[in-house]
Amino acid sequence: MQGTFSMPLSEYLLIVAGMGLVTYIPRWLPLALLSNRRLPNIVEAWLDLIPAAILSALLLPVLITGGEPTRLDFLRVELWAAIPTFLVAVLTRSMGVTVVLGMLVFWLLNKLL
């Protein structure tokens, strides 16, 4: 068995402070540099699409793949529950209605299938 590795408290604090800086600076820098400027309309329109693109990139693989090993599966309950949930979200723009409907549809599909 190997011996234990000990690091002084000051090194731990320095590491934590460094991690905080490398997390904070990339968030603060664009805000500081661009807060007094007006971005072109096309850049603002492009930036507005980023949250939807990230959400799609996170959700789509979960909705259409499953099993071990991972394979395409278009009959997943999650996918079929997501379709009416997405439509209600677009039509109502209500987070509460969307969440409740999504949970209800998912529950119903699990009971039926």
pLDDT value of residue 1? 52
Does 40 have pLDDT greater than 80?
A: yes
Model pTM above 0.85: no
Distance (Å, whole) CA 33 – CA 25: 12
Structure-model confidence comparison of residues 2 and 20, the more confident one: 20
Q: How far is CA 16 from CA 12, 13, 21, 23, 107, in A?
A: 6, 5, 9, 11, 43
Q: How many CB atoms within 10 Å of residue 57?
A: 9
- The tens digit of pLDDT for each residue in 56-105 reads 999 999 999 988 888 999 999 999 999 999 999 999 999 999 999 999 99
Domain ranges of the chain: 39-112
pLDDT value of residue 68? 85
